[in-house]
Amino acid sequence: MQGNLSIRDLHVAIEDRLILKGVNLELGRGQSHALMGPYGSGKSTLANVLMGNPFYQVVKGEVLYNEEDLLAMAPDERARKGLFIAFQYPVAIPGVTMASFLRTAVSGRRGYEKELMPIAEFQKQLKAKLAIAQLDMSIVGRYVNEGFSGGEKKRAEILQMAMLEPEFAIMDETDSGLDIDGVRIVSEGINKLFEDAKGNMGILLITHYSRILHYIKPTQVHVIHDGRVVVSGGPELAEELEQVGYEKIKEQHEVISSEVEEVGAVRRAGKVFWVQH
C-alpha cells in the first residue's frame, strides 16, 4: 500500500551476533506505533537499520517503503524520501550552527539541488517551528548539540522533525534522560506535528517505559523480545506491561518457543500432534 513501511522477516547481525531474528511490522502513515521491550531486545538495532547505519548487517528479509526497496537506498536518499530518526543520544557537531544545519537539511528534503532554500522562506518557517519545540531563536546560532542540556538536545530533535516534515518519524527512546517536564514538552511537540500532518505522517516510537505513552496514544503497541516481535495490541498493552513488566512476556514467549520447537522435532520424526495448552 502507498504510504506504508513494511518490515518483513528481517534478520540483522552485528559482526557474528544475530540481533534481529525475523521482525515483521506494517506501519502506515496516519498511524503511531510504539515498540517496547527490555534492554538488548533489538529496538535500537531496528531503528539504525531503517536509517541505513552500515554497522549493522542485514542477513535476511526486506523493508519496503512506498513499495520501494528501502535497504537498497543510501541514508541520505532515505532522508530525502521522508524518513527521519530522532536519536537516543544526539551527537554534537562542533563548528556547524543549528541554522546552517537545518537550512541545508531542509533544502535537501524540499528538492533544492544546486542551492539552498531562500533565507527569508527558511526564517519564516523556522520561527513557526521553534514554538512547537518550545525553543527560542538563540539556539539556532549555537553549534549543533554542543553544550546543550539533555532536554535541549531532545527538543532540538523535535525542531528538526518539524522543519523536515517527514512521512515517517522513528523516535528512538526520545524520552531517555528526560525529567517529567521534559517528557511532557517533547510529547506535546510530537503530538502537534502528528496532528498538523493530517494523516500524512507515521510514527514509530521506541521506548522502554510507558510514561511517554501517557501523553502519546499509539495506534498499536508491539513488544520485541530476543529479536522478535512477540505480541502486538492496542494502547492497553502498554498499561498491562506497566503492571506485570517484561518478565511475564518473556516467560510466555519461552513457553511458546519450547512448544514450537517440540512440534518441529516431532514433525521431523514423521509425526504430527496438537500441543495442549
Q: For the segment 89-134, what is each residue's pLDDT rounded down to a tens digit?
A: 999 999 999 999 999 999 999 999 889 999 999 999 999 999 999 9
Percent of the chain with pLDDT over 70: 89
Q: What is the pLDDT of residue 243?
A: 86
Please report, for the chain, how many H helices and E strands are present, in that order: 7, 12
**Do 59 and 130 touch, CB atoms closer than 8 A?**
no
The CA distance from 52 to 71, in Å, is 7
Paired strand residues for 151: none
Q: For the segment 183-200, what is each residue's pLDDT rounded down to a tens digit?
A: 999 999 999 999 999 999
Domains and CATH numbers, the chain: 31-52+82-268 (3.40.50.300)
Instruction: Give the mean pLDDT of 70-78.
Output: 96
The CA distance from 164 to 29, in Å, is 16
Cell of 247: 518478565
The CA distance from 192 to 172, in Å, is 18
Instruction: Give the mean pLDDT of 272-277.
Output: 34
The CA distance from 23 to 254, in Å, is 17
Q: For the segment 202-228, what is each residue's pLDDT rounded down to a tens digit?
A: 999 999 888 999 999 999 999 999 999
The CA distance from 204 to 26, in Å, is 11
Q: For the segment 128-174, what is each residue's pLDDT rounded down to a tens digit?
A: 999 999 999 999 999 999 999 999 999 999 999 999 999 999 999 99
Quick one: DSSP state of residue 209? S
Q: What is the pLDDT of residue 1?
A: 43
Q: How confident is the model at residue 16 (pLDDT cuts 50, 70, 90)?
A: confident
For the cut 50, the answer to whether the pLDDT of residue 267 exceeds it is no
The residue written with cell numbers 500524512 in the block is 200
**pTM reported for the whole predicted model:** 0.87
Phi, psi of 11, deg, nearest 5: -115, 130
For residue 182, give the amino acid letter: G
**Do 216 and 186 touch, CB atoms closer than 8 A?**
no
For residue 160, give the amino acid letter: Q
**Do 262 and 255 touch, CB atoms closer than 8 A?**
no
Q: Is the dihedral of CA 151, 156, 162, 168 positive or negative?
A: negative
Continuous segment of H or E residues that includes residue 73: none
**Do 192 and 132 touch, CB atoms closer than 8 A?**
yes
The residue written with cell numbers 505522517 in the block is 201
Q: What is the pLDDT of residue 248?
A: 76
Q: What is the pLDDT of residue 275?
A: 33
Contacts of 268 by beta carbon, 8 Å cutoff, 6+ apart = none
For the cut 70, the answer to whether the pLDDT of residue 268 exceeds it is no
The CA distance from 24 to 6, in Å, is 8
Paired strand residues for 32: 203
Helices (H), the chain: 43-51, 75-80, 98-109, 119-132, 150-164, 180-196, 236-268
